[in-house]
């Protein structure tokens, strides 16, 4: 099993790519997005701004991913994924969140990147319930690693104890089914 749960600041990880929990503008924000932009330096915002808009103000629709370099980060690349805002779970939130993980893993494979770290996309400002989000993150990453070789190292980063426990619980529940 190449899925790790790690608690700490994702900006410190020397992996091939860290994933950002961005918004559709890709022009920065709070939470992990703010931390990544601060650590990467101003070139990251310039690189994001150069990405084409798919419609006014939208560089990356919800559920999709865009890549930039990592600039001053220890990680070589940043994938900017836009998670759903949690409403009540009936507005395609699970599918849109699953797409963030799956599309990031697919892009990492295409770019031949061997290690990837994810924050808990949508679990802060966007209000996704932690256990439900952890279930999506675990099921998507486990499904990916069952059927793909790259990336071979997948890290689920929890910024706090509650998220760490949610990942551990969901992994414990999911693993007997995939063993
Ligand atoms: N390292 C790892 N995880 C972190 C870090 C960090 N340095 N900082 C926060 N987290 P959020 P969202 C965790 O709010 O809910 C931004 O303004 C945090 O504890 O960053 O997807 C964007 O521009 C939580 O578990 O992202 C969007 O507008 C997780 O990262 C909006 O927030 C995600 O919390 C996106 O909201």
CATH T-level assignment (fold) for domain 3-178: 3.40.220
Q: Where are the domains of the chain?
A: 3-178
Q: Give the tens place of pLDDT for each residue, 116-126.
A: 999 999 999 99
Distance in angstroms (rounded) separating the CA atoms of residues 94 and 110: 24
Q: Of all protein residues, whose CA lies closest to atom 10 belonging to ligand 1?
A: 32
Nearest atom (ligand 1) to Cα of 123: 15
Q: Give the tens place of pLDDT for each residue, 159-178.
A: 999 999 999 999 999 987 55
> What pTM did the predictor assign?
0.98
> Which residues, judged by CB distance below 6 Å to any ligand atom, belong to the binding site of ligand 1?
9-11, 21-23, 29-33, 35, 83, 119-126, 157, 159-160, 163
SS3 99: helix
Q: How far is the CA of 172 from the centre of ligand 1 (A)?
A: 24
The catalytic residue positions are 33
């Amino acid at each position: 099993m190449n899925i790790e749960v790690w608690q700490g600041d994702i900006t410190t990880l020397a992996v091939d790519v860290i994933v950002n929990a961005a918004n559709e503008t890709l022009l920065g924000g709070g939470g992990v997005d703010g931390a990544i932009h601060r650590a990467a330096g101003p070139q990251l915002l310039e690189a994001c701004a150069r990405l084409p808009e798919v419609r006014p103000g939208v560089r990356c629709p919800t559920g999709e991913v865009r890549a930039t370099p990592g600039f001053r980060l220890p990680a070589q690349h940043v994938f900017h994924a836009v998670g759903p805002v949690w409403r009540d779970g009936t507005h395609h939130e699970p599918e849109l969140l699953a797409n963030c993980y799956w599309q990031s893993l697919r892009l990492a494979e295409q770019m031949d990147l061997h290690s990837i770290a994810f924050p808990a996309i949508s679990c802060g400002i966007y209000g996704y319930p932690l256990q439900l989000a952890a279930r999506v993150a675990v099921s998507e990453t486990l499904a990916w690693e069952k059927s793909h070789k790259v990336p071979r190292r997948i890290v689920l980063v929890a910024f706090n104890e509650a998220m760490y426990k949610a990942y551990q619980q969901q992994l414990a529940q999911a693993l007997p089914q995939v063993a």
